[in-house]
Chains A and B, each alone.
Chain A
Amino acid sequence: MKAKTADRIAIAVIVAIACLIMAVLAALLGYLLFRGVSHISLHFLTSEPETIKTGGGIGPPLFNSIFLLVLTMIITVPLGLGAGIYMSEYARANRVTDFIRLVIEVLSSFPSIVVGLFGLLVFVQFFHLKYSLISGALALTVFNLPLMVRITEQAIRGVPREQKEAGLALGLSHWKTIRSVMLPMGFPNIMTGTILAAGRVFGEAAALLFTAGMSSPRLNFSDWNPTHLSSPLNPFRPAETLAVHIWKINSEGLAPDAPEIAAGASAVLIIIVLLFNFGARWLGRAIYRKFTATK
């Protein structure tokens, strides 16, 4: 009887906390969307920002954010997958791997502004990459890679041992077993984790202030040759991302409609991150179903 009462109280407390968190989240999202959505239009999404006039848009920052995300993921995903597989399947348990794991932990909890300063010293100055998308992507890699490694390692470790043994017992090589048995089973988790990591990258500002820079050159959206300075695809040009743009107009925006633009841009940012989250789950499940032939 007593245990039952305690049980009920515990459940009530947990439900209450969950509801509170949900409410705060809903309120926050509702407020940001309510303030911003009315400002979103095709013109707003595609036109250039204005410094002193009203009617500026977020076209280039939005493009920069997406492009930077793609660049970062191109670097992060293969490295993270490789390292994660290595850590879970090949690395022997010894001091060196323990140390690597510690470094990964520490790295993934670094404040992003510190990562930004590190990027400034190493990529921007030491390697002369200047303020550029590539510097930004490398800085973001520094703080995304540990996450990616951990996601992969945990996903692979989560595969039941009998599945791995079943592969090996058929005379498959270790690598083939990883590739065809373990990776597909861990895939939904890797996918979800990757897209969540991508969401983090998309919303990041602090690490980019001193690496990708706070302004973009005038972009010519009809020039897709990545070697031209005004080409949007040039990875060596400076680029102001959406999150940085929001920060900038909020702190030093001169345009009379700066608050509205910030609100609209924030709403766009949130909508995209939300899309990432739901898309991640949906895609992870869909691909898992395809791999496993479950209905």
Chain B
Amino acid sequence: MSETAFYTKDLSVFYGEKQAIKKISMDFAAREVIALIGPSGCGKSTFLRSLNRMNDLIAGVRIEGEIWIGGRNINHPGTDVVRLRQNIGMVWQRANPFHKSIYENIVFGPRYHGIRDKRKLDEIVERCLRKTALWDEVKDRLNGSALALSGGQQQRLCIARSLAVQPSILLMDEPASALDPVSTAKIEELIAELKKEYCIVIVTHNMYQAARVSDRTGFFLMGDLVEYDNTQKIFTNPSNRSTDDYISGRFG
């Protein structure tokens, strides 16, 4: 594997008294796709959302342990979360474009971070839309509403939007679970393409998807990271019994 992009150490998250994830230690390499799988409620989203401190928004949440990115533990009260989040893109299960035009959706982030030059912004829009294979489909209606796009297009627009602020890590929480097979295939192609530049952590309920797109897979069960290994190994020869049960569909 190439150099480590970031890692967690003994990361625990509590909702009130309830511990949702238990002392998770995981490392993620640059230019790698990591799939997180596991039955519903096992803590995948919780884990993913702590990586960019999005769980801070939830009242009564407590986070323990360390998250090391670029030589710094970001799970620290003094961390500049706003800066941090710029480095970590996020994609949700339901596409959530801003209620603005396609163009505005993409330039929104970069403009806030100081890019005002119209030519530069135009460039960013084209680059991000090309990367997400959306350019040819929308180049004639950049000023049209993002909400007029199909679900799959909206999801790719959301990915394009997150790329526009030049993150190095992308977090995706079931990005294709609300999409039809064709759009899903497009998202998977996209992930394979984006892998050349980004570290991508993806939560999925689709075993085939995990097997297709990821290099390594982590299996979560009731807040524990049961097994974390090369995807191929996990799907052909898991060392843990419950992993085997889960991927062969015997429970969950």
A residues in contact (CB < 8 Å) with B: 92-93, 160-173, 176, 180-181, 184-185, 291-295
Q: Are B96 and A163 closer than 8 Å at their CB atoms?
A: yes
Can you list 27 pairs linking A and B with CB atoms under 8 Å apart? A93-B59, A160-B96, A163-B96, A165-B92, A166-B97, A166-B161, A168-B54, A168-B82, A169-B85, A169-B90, A170-B85, A170-B162, A170-B165, A171-B83, A171-B109, A172-B82, A180-B112, A181-B98, A291-B99, A291-B100, A292-B99, A292-B100, A292-B145, A293-B144, A293-B145, A293-B146, A294-B99
Residue of B nearest to A93 (CB): B59
B residues in contact (CB < 8 Å) with A: 52, 54, 57, 59, 82-90, 92, 94, 96-101, 104, 108-109, 112-113, 143-148, 158, 161-162, 164-165
Q: Are B145 and A294 closer than 8 Å at their CB atoms?
A: yes
Q: Given that A171-B82, A184-B99 are known contacts, is A293 also in contact with B90, CB under 8 Å in the complex?
A: no
Q: At the interface, is chain B mostly helix, strand, loop or mixed?
A: mixed
Q: How far is the CA of A93 from the CA of B94 in the complex (A)?
A: 28
A-B contact count (CB 8 A): 83
Q: Are A165 and B82 closer than 8 Å at their CB atoms?
A: no
Q: Are A293 and B143 closer than 8 Å at their CB atoms?
A: yes
Top 3 closest A-B pairs, CB basis? A171-B86, A293-B101, A162-B96
Q: How far is the CA of A93 from the CA of B59 in the complex (A)?
A: 9
Min C-beta distance of A293 to chain B, whole Å? 4
Q: Given that A170-B108, A170-B162, A172-B109 are known contacts, is A294 also in contact with B85, CB under 8 Å in the complex?
A: no
Q: Are B82 and A169 closer than 8 Å at their CB atoms?
A: no
Q: Are B165 and A171 closer than 8 Å at their CB atoms?
A: yes
Residues of chain B contacted by A162 (CB below 8 angstroms): 92, 94, 96
Residues of chain B contacted by A180 (CB below 8 angstroms): 108, 112
Q: Given that A93-B59, A166-B96, A166-B98 are known contacts, is A294 also in contact with B148, CB under 8 Å in the complex?
A: yes
Q: How far is the CA of A86 from the CA of B162 in the complex (A)?
A: 28
Residue of B nearest to A160 (CB): B96
Q: Are A169 and B113 closer than 8 Å at their CB atoms?
A: no
Q: How far is the CA of A162 from the CA of B49 in the complex (A)?
A: 12
Q: Are A168 and B59 closer than 8 Å at their CB atoms?
A: no
Min C-beta distance of A86 to chain B, whole Å? 16
